[in-house]
Amino acid sequence: MSSDVQKAQNTNADSYRQASEPSIKALNRELKEPSELVLFAGGVYECTVNDTNGQYCQSQFAFMLDLPSQDDVNNKSAIKMWIAPAGTQHIPFDQNNMPTRDQLLDGDWKEVRIGCAPERLVSVRGGIQAKRSQYALKHIGAITINKSQGATLPAGLAIEITKEYSPWESGQVVVSLSRTTVGSKTVIVGDKRYAIDKMWELITKGNQWTRYTEHVLSLISINGNSRSSQSGQGQNGQVIFDYPAVYPFRMCDGIIPTDTTGYVYCLASVRNLEKIYIGQTECLSQRIIQHNSGSGAQGTEDIRDRPWAIGAYICGLSHMTMSDRMSLERSWKELVKNMIRQGRKDSFSWINAGARVVDSYNEGTDVDDERIRFILCIEEDTANNSL
C-alpha cells in the first residue's frame, strides 16, 4: 500500500493527515505509481522514474527474484530488483519459470535497489494538497477487466477484488477468470473470503437485462413458463408480452421493430391522454416517424397532439395481406367504439383492447406459425391517472 496524505494549502508540513477518497483519486489520476503494488517473486514491473546514478530509467523492465521482507515494505525501504537490458521487449520467465541469479547476470541483467519515487504535490479541489509515498514501480500491462476481453495473457494475471476495487457484474467475473491459459496463473489479490463471496454474488445475481431476457425466453420456448408474473393474460389464456413490466430502461428508449412483416398498432398522444390512433402498416418504425412529422394520417396531423407514442402493437403478421391487417384494425376500432358507448373512456383500456383482437383471431386458428401476438408498450400510472 502507498502512504497517501493531505493538508490544506499554505499550512506547515506537520498538518498532513490521512488522505481522503477524493485526494486518493486525484493521486491515482496524476501519478504513475499506483496506490497498491502486488509484490511477489517472479513479478515483472516497470520503473516510473530515472535513477540518479543511471542504473535504470523510466519504463525499463524490473524483475523481482526474491520477495522483500514485510518490514522493508512497511518502512518503504529500498528493495532488490533486477533491471532488464536496454531494449528488452519480452521477459522469458515468470513465477513458474524462475531464473537463477547467475542466469540473470549472464543475460546482462543488473541487480539494483529501488526505493520510493520522489514525492509530488497534487492539488485537490477545496484547497487541498496531497502526496504519495510509493515505490517507483508500476505493474506492466495494467488494464481494466472490460478492456482485457478477448485477450490471452499466458504469463499470468493478478485481479484485485477488495471493497475498494472489484468487478460489479457477472460478465466481468467470467472475463477475468478466463484470460490465462491455466487457472494457476490467475492470482486474486484481496481477502480470500470476501473475493469468493463477491464473485458468487455477481455470478448468481441478475443484471438489468436478466428479467427481460428470461421473460422473452419463457414466451418463445416450448417448455417456457408462459404464465410468468410479468405476462398479461387474454380471456383465452393468450400470453401478452407486457413490455414496460420487464424492459430495463425508459419506454421512450425502447427499440421499435424495423422489419416489414406487417403490424397493426395503436398510438397514444403524449400531450392529450384521451386521444389514440389505430392503424396498420408494413414497417412500424417508418410509420411512427411519419405520424410524428404530421404526414402519417389525418387523425394524427394535428400538431397539438404530437408527439405520438406507441401504446401497443400486434405482430406475427407475415402470413397476412394488407386486407387481413385492415380487418384486425377494424376489429380493434370497433371494440374501442363499444367501450366508449359503455362509458369506458380511459385510453389504457382502449389500447389494451388489442389483446382481445388477438385472442379472437388465435382462437380460430390451429396453425402455430399463424398465431399472432399482442405487444403492450405502455403502462397505466394509476397514482397520477396517466400513462
Q: Render pLDDT for 128-157 as a digit per residue (tens, 0 to 9).
A: 999 999 999 988 766 667 666 666 776 677
Helix (H) or strand (E) holding 7: strand 3-8
CA atoms within 13 A on the CB side of 362: 23
Question: What φ, ψ does residue 375 adopt, rounded to 5°?
Answer: -110, 110
C-alpha cell at position 215: 421473460
Q: Can you spell out the DSSP letters for 25-90?
A: HHHHHH-SS-S-----TT-EEEE-S--TTSS--TT-EEE--SPPPHHHHHTT--EEEEEPPTT---
The per-residue pLDDT for range 2-38, each reduced to its tens digit, is 899 989 888 887 788 998 988 988 888 888 888 888 8
Q: How many CB atoms lie within 10 A of CB 333?
A: 18
Please, which pLDDT band fits residue 269 given cuts at 50, 70 and 90? very high
**Comparison of pLDDT for 333 and 94, the residue scoring more:** 333
Question: For position 32, what pLDDT does the model report?
Answer: 87
List the 44-47 sheet strands across, edge first.
110-114, 79-83, 61-63, 44-47, 137-139
Cell numbers for 21: 477518497
Helix or strand or coil: residue 330?
helix
* Residues 6+ positions from 355 with CB-CB distance below 8 Å: 232, 234, 238, 240, 312, 374, 376
The whole-number pLDDT of residue 241 equals: 64
Task: Report the chain's terminal Cα–Cα distance, integer Å.
Answer: 54
* H/E segment holding residue 71: helix 70-74
121 C-beta neighbours (distance < 10 Å), count:
13
82 has pLDDT over 80: yes
Cell of 112: 539494483
Most confident residue range from 36-45, 223-232, 309-318: 309-318
What is d(CA 214, CA 219) in angstroms, rounded to the nearest whole number? Answer: 9
Beta-bridge mates of residue 79 = 114
CA 325/CA 303 separation, integer angstroms: 27
State which of 86-90, 173-177, 378-382 shows the largest mean pLDDT. Answer: 173-177
| pLDDT at position 231 | 44
Cα separation, 54 vs 76, in Å, equals 21
**Rg of the Cα atoms in the chain:** 33
The average pLDDT across 179-197 equals 85
How many residues are there in the chain? 387
Please check whether residue 179 is in contact with residue 186, taking contact to mean a CB–CB distance below 8 angstroms: yes
Instruction: Break the chain down into helix, strand, coil percent, rounded to 5.
Output: 30, 20, 45
Report CA-CA distances (Å) from 214 to 202, 211, 238: 17, 5, 18
> Is residue 230 over pLDDT 50?
no
The yes-or-no verdict on residue 251 having pLDDT over 60 is no
Q: What is the mean pLDDT of the chain?
A: 83
